[in-house]
């Protein structure tokens, strides 16, 4: 959303963050032994689909590759094959590794490396859909009409082989040059169809400037997370699969959903008031999702509206059910029921939701060992989601303080994201340094102002500005 110069910080030690949140990279010896000896428990029932020229699209350098896709046009629309790493087949239920992954819940990402859900022997080895190796997978097949809406869905165990490892920027370059790999040639058209369908069903996408801390030479720098159209196209593939999985489980009366209440009408009214105060047109008949999607990414007022938009969507949770459906089955941001099934190397819940879908799709009972774990997933995933958010925030706060520490007393141009209240300072975005922080004084929301840096404390991981009148 915002282009900023590169500001490099000296070496940053994230060890204190790891210690504060009890993040331990290493695994108990018995769990590690199981990971090293992991073998496919379903090898004798897999269909060989190594003929499919699947490809992966992930950030550069990623080794924990959960998904591989193949998308083709047909006379009736599209056929998507989406291979998901079959982690359940490699982790013995009730074993030491199973217990350790339940304790961790998910992979935690820090700037200096991840704290993985599974030992790297599994997450970057035997389960990862690396190129040119045969791997066990849960293979989704989703047929759609010409509008990208699913008409037939199935998932089964298969052997697959990725033929290429891609990244988002590379896919974007290839799309721009009209030279996409045949396996994803249809991805731009399909992704745009699905994005249009999302707006039609009332989906709400929050396009906040997401801060990243990334290595730069011998130091670190803050940046706004780069996001291309290719990111969005690929995201639509995962979202579609999660929606199909959710509907499959709802129809079967057993499963695990990712839920989020619909946008709070009071919050929508508040956002409309903010839009009026900023003189941003919002026709009464236009839904909030379409309004946010149409905002000018380069307009400072968009930052203000996007910073307020998260108030629309609160109460994210997980809902396990076996028999009676939960009270809430909707994911408000997606505008439909949704389930996590596409990242089992990184999220524990996906392992079990996928097993439910495999059983339902095959017309078999859901294994009792899987059913027994469903009820534990909401608590595990909600608590570890909260922890992941705190870890990420701590890393950003530390990097901001280190970057700015030598510059206390300097003034900067900033966009005011939120006005001050009786309980909170104003909040500003300083684009030149890629930082968001509290600001004393009473600058007007949506305005561009000069602010003075008055605090940058790496020990406390705090920064503060004051409105420089």
Measure CA of the first residue to CA of the last residue in the chain; give whole Å.
27
Do 372 and 412 lie in one domain? The reply is no
Do 102 and 181 lie in one domain? The reply is yes
The mean-pLDDT minimum among 50-54, 344-348, 426-430 falls in 426-430
Residue 19 lies in a domain: yes
Count the helix, strand and coil residues of the chain and give each as a percent rounded to the nearest 5. Answer: 35, 25, 40
Whether residue 216 is predicted with pLDDT greater than 70 in this model: the reply is yes
Beta-carbon neighbour count of residue 243 at 10 Å?
A: 23
**Residues 433, 378: contact at Cβ < 8 Å?**
no
Q: Which helix (H) or strand (E) holds 395?
A: helix 377-404
Alpha-carbon gap, residue 136 to 127, rounded angstroms: 7
Of 402, 419, 452, at which residue does a domain stop?
Answer: 402
Domain of residue 43: give its range: 14-261+315-402
The pLDDT confidence band at residue 7, using thresholds 50, 70 and 90, is: low
**Residues 411, 451: contact at Cβ < 8 Å?**
yes
Whether residue 4 is predicted with pLDDT greater than 60 in this model: the reply is no
**Residues 311, 270: contact at Cβ < 8 Å?**
yes
Do 396 and 411 lie in one domain? The reply is no
pLDDT at 217: 78
Of 357, 386, 402, at which residue does a domain stop?
Answer: 402
Residue 310 lies in a domain: no
- As a whole number, mean pLDDT of residues 130-157 equals 98
Max CA pair span of the chain: 73
- Nearest residue to 222 via CA among 307, 304, 306, 111: 111
pLDDT digits (tens, 9 = 90+) for 90-111: 999 999 999 999 999 999 999 9
Whether residue 116 is predicted with pLDDT greater than 80 in this model: the reply is yes
Residue 201 lies in a domain: yes
Task: Please give the structure tokens belonging to residue 152.
Answer: 């037939």
Whether residue 469 is predicted with pLDDT greater than 90 in this model: the reply is no
Beta-carbon neighbour count of residue 321 at 10 Å?
A: 18
Whether residue 55 is predicted with pLDDT greater than 50 in this model: the reply is yes
Burial of 51 (0-12, 13-18, 19+ CB in 10 A): exposed
- Nearest residue to 144 via CA among 136, 153, 135: 153
State percent of the chain over pLDDT 90. Answer: 82
Alpha-carbon gap, residue 146 to 194, rounded angstroms: 11
| CATH at 423 | 2.40.50.140
Do 414 and 396 lie in one domain? The reply is no
- As a whole number, mean pLDDT of residues 72-89 equals 98
pLDDT digits (tens, 9 = 90+) for 282-323: 999 999 999 999 998 778 788 889 888 888 989 999 999 999
Do 328 and 360 lie in one domain? The reply is yes
pLDDT at 301: 86
Find residue 68's DSSP bridge partners: 83
Beta-carbon neighbour count of residue 80 at 10 Å?
A: 23
pTM of the model: 0.93
pLDDT digits (tens, 9 = 90+) for 240-288: 999 999 999 999 999 999 999 999 999 999 999 999 989 999 999 999 9
Phi, psi of 41 (to 5 degrees): -75, -10
Do 339 and 424 lie in one domain? The reply is no
Do 138 and 212 lie in one domain? The reply is yes
Do 197 and 148 lie in one domain? The reply is yes
Do 384 and 437 lie in one domain? The reply is no
pLDDT at 205: 87
Number of domains in the chain: 2
Of 402, 432, 447, at which residue does a domain stop?
Answer: 402
Whether residue 330 is predicted with pLDDT greater than 80 in this model: the reply is yes
Residue 391 lies in a domain: yes
- The pairing of beta strand 448-457 with beta strand 435-440: unpaired
pLDDT at 209: 66
Whether residue 221 is predicted with pLDDT greater than 90 in this model: the reply is no
pLDDT at 69: 98
Residue 304 lies in a domain: no
Do 448 and 329 lie in one domain? The reply is no
pLDDT at 298: 78
Alpha-carbon gap, residue 376 to 59, rounded angstroms: 31
Do 336 and 389 lie in one domain? The reply is yes
Residue 437 lies in a domain: yes
pLDDT digits (tens, 9 = 90+) for 32-46: 999 999 999 999 999
Residue 281 lies in a domain: no
Placement of tokens 């994201």 in the chain: 417
Do 464 and 346 lie in one domain? The reply is no
Residue 120 lies in a domain: yes
Beta-carbon neighbour count of residue 42 at 10 Å?
A: 15
- CA dihedral sign, ordered 246, 251, 252, 253: positive
């Amino acid at each position: 959303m915002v282009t900023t110069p590169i500001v490099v910080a000296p070496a940053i030690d994230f060890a204190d963050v790891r210690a504060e949140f009890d993040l331990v990279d290493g695994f108990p010896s018995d769990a590690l032994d199981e990971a090293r000896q992991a073998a496919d428990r379903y090898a004798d029932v897999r269909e060989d689909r190594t003929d499919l020229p699947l490809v992966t699209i992930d950030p550069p350098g990623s080794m924990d590759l959960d998904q591989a896709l193949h998308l083709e046009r047909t006379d009736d629309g599209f056929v998507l094959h989406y291979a998901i790493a079959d982690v359940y087949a490699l982790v013995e239920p009730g074993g030491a590794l199973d217990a350790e992954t339940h304790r961790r819940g998910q992979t935690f990402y820090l700037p200096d490396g991840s704290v993985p859900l599974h030992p790297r022997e599994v997450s970057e080895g035997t389960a990862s859909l690396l190129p040119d190796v045969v791997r066990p997978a849960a293979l989704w097949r989703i047929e759609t009409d010409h509008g990208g809406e699913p008409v037939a869905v199935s998932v089964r165990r298969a052997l697959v082989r990725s033929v290429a490892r891609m990244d988002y920027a590379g896919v974007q370059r290839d799309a721009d040059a009209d030279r996409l790999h045949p396996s994803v040639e249809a991805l731009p058209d399909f992704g745009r169809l699905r994005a249009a369908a999302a707006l039609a069903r009332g989906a709400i996408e929050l396009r906040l400037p997401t801060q990243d801390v990334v290595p730069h030479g011998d130091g670190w720098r803050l940046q706004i997370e780069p996001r291309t159209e290719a990111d969005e196209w690929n995201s639509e593939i995962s979202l579609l699969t999660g929606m199909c999985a959710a509907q499959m489980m709802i129809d079967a009366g057993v499963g695990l959903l990712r839920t989020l209440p619909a946008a709070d009408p009071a919050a929508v009214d508040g956002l409309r008031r903010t839009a009026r105060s900023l003189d941003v047109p919002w026709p009464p008949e236009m839904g909030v999702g379409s309004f946010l999607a149409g905002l000018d990414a380069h307009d400072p007022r968009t930052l203000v509206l996007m910073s307020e938009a998260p108030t629309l969507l609160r109460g994210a949770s997980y809902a396990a059910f076996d028999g009676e459906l939960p009270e809430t089955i909707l994911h408000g941001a997606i505008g439909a029921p949704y389930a996590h099934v596409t990242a089992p190397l990184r999220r524990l819940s996906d392992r079990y939701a996928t097993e439910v879908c495999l059983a339902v799709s095959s017309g078999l009972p859901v294994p009792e060992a899987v059913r027994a774990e469903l009820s534990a997933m909401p608590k595990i995933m909600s608590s570890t989601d909260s922890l992941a958010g705190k870890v990420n925030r701590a890393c950003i706060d530390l990097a901001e303080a280190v970057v700015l520490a030598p510059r206390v007393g300097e003034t900067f141009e900033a966009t005011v994201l939120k006005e001050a209240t009786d309980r909170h300072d104003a909040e500003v975005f300083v684009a030149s340094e890629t930082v968001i922080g509290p600001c004393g004084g009473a600058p007007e929301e949506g305005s561009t102002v000069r602010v003075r840096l008055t605090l940058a404390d790496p020990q406390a991981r705090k920064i503060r500005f004051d409105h420089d009148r």
